[in-house]
């Protein structure tokens, strides 16, 4: 037991105790170009989270969003949680609430449900480590339709410096094919919330469409973009995202073989997947799965194949990110009413790159 505790403290001292000033330039680590050598199994870095949804790093400090409480929790070196902010205006039922977060250039960005809409805001960050605090909110984009289900919610900065946001169809599938609607899309905007001049549809935030409920976004070292997506009853998907691409929903679920739509790279039965957050490291895509309760690895060089880890061991997995120390940080999601919480759930796990 002592050996395990010491290993956990050693691993976390790298990821959570750095003397970083919290500069945003260090908050979006590039994926390693070679796999990290495994140095042991999962280590529980923090426990007692309430419906956690997303992890982002401010310097070396992990920040975690909680969907229902609307809190941003900072994870300390000893695993202690510090509430650094409660996001104002969050109001959502079902799958709504405080969802994805991202950090860049001393701002925290948040995607959340605010009644009849989903909204993206940003907040200036001050302080360091677990003493970080959020300043006054600035709304970047509102009016994204919300629902009790299918709110999307993942946000991430791409290698082009643009902010990408995944939206769901909010329960009205026809919106996904409607380019005038923000639902069922991947949106692209500047860090200040403006429409980039080189977006595929002039004057529009829409980057790709025909999505049901995208919940994972990541980029490979060559700039290629990937997204995980919930299907309905048959197929969940891993897609490579192209500007202006139509991914088929609601006309298509899974592979259609129709040139009008972009087929997924890989699809899984919904009982085995519900793919949420994704991360790329060492030439592999790592996918956190909710209903499937597993971490899935898909090699970029062979995207029709996959390897599965920790099947049914830690319950529902909501997010996976590459930590500054090169390991993967994984969020469990067993307290959302659909899982079976164990003592200590929900938690942040640190796992080697497998």
Percent of the chain exceeding pLDDT 70 equals 89
Assess whether pLDDT exceeds 90 at residue 312: yes
pLDDT class of 21 with cuts at 50, 70, 90: very low
Domains of the chain: 2-351 (2.120.10.30)
pLDDT, residue 231, reads: 96
pLDDT class of 2 with cuts at 50, 70, 90: very low
Assess whether pLDDT exceeds 50 at residue 4: no
Dump pLDDT digits (tens) for 122-141: 999 999 999 999 999 999 99
Dump pLDDT digits (tens) for 182-220: 999 999 999 999 999 999 999 999 999 999 999 999 999
Assess whether pLDDT exceeds 50 at residue 318: yes
Per-residue H/E/C for the chain:
CHHHHHHHHHHHHHHHCCCCCCCHHHCCCCCCCCCCCCCCCCEEEECCCCCEEEEEEECCEEEEEECCCCEEEEECCCCCEEEEEECCCCECCCCCCEEEEEEECCEEEEEEEECCEEEEEEEEEECCHHHCEECCCEEEEEEEECCCCCCCCCEEECCCCCEEEECECCCCHHHHHCCCCCCCEEEEECCCCCCCCCCCCCCCCEEEECCCEEEEEEECCCCCEEEEECCCCCEEEEEEECCCCECCCCCCCCCCCCCCCCCCCEEEEHHHCCEEEEEEECCEEEEEECCCCEEEEEECCCCCCCEEECCCCCCCEEEEEECCCCCEEEEECCCCCCCCCCCCCCCEEEECCC
Dump pLDDT digits (tens) for 72-95: 999 999 999 999 999 999 998 899
pLDDT, residue 267, reads: 98
pLDDT class of 40 with cuts at 50, 70, 90: low
Assess whether pLDDT exceeds 60 at residue 23: no
pLDDT class of 41 with cuts at 50, 70, 90: confident
Percent of the chain exceeding pLDDT 90 equals 86
Assess whether pLDDT exceeds 70 at residue 260: yes
**pTM of the entire structure?**
0.89
pLDDT, residue 37, reads: 42
Assess whether pLDDT exceeds 80 at residue 24: no
């Amino acid at each position: 037991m002592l050996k395990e505790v010491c290993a956990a403290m050693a691993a976390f001292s790298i990821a959570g105790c750095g003397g970083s000033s919290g500069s945003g330039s260090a908050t979006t680590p590039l994926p390693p170009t070679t796999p990290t050598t495994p140095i042991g199994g999962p280590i529980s870095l923090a426990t007692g989270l309430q419906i956690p949804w997303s992890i982002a790093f401010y310097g070396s400090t992990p920040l975690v969003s909680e969907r229902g409480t609307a809190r941003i929790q900072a994870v300390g070196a000893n695993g202690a949680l510090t509430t650094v902010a409660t996001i104002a205006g969050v109001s959502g039922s079902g799958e709504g609430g405080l969802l994805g977060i991202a950090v860049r250039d001393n701002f925290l960005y948040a995607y959340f449900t605010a009644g009849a809409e989903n909204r993206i805001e940003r907040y200036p960050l001050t302080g360091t480590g677990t003493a970080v605090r959020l300043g006054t909110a600035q709304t970047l984009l509102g009016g994204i339709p919300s629902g009790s289900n299918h709110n999307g919610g993942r946000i991430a900065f791409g290698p082009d410096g643009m902010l990408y946001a995944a939206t769901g169809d909010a329960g009205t599938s026809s919106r996904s094919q409607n380019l005038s609607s923000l639902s069922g899309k991947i949106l692209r905007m500047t860090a200040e919330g403006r429409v980039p001049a080189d977006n595929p549809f002039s004057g529009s935030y829409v980057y790709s469409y025909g999505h049901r409920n995208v919940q994972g976004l990541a980029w490979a070292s060559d700039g290629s973009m990937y997204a995980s997506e919930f299907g309905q009853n048959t197929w969940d998907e891993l897609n490579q995202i192209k500007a202006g691409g139509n991914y088929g929903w609601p006309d298509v679920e899974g592979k259609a073989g129709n040139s009008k739509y972009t087929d997924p790279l890989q699809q899984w039965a919904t009982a085995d997947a519900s793919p949420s957050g994704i991360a790329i490291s060492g030439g592999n895509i790592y996918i956190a799965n909710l209903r499937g309760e597993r971490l899935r690895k898909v090699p970029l060089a062979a995207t029709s194949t996959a390897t599965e880890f920790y099947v049914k061991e830690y319950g529902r997995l909501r997010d996976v990110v590459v930590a500054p120390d090169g390991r993967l940080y994984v969020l469990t999601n067993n307290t959302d009413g659909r899982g079976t919480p164990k003592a200590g759930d929900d938690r942040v796990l640190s796992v080697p790159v497998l």
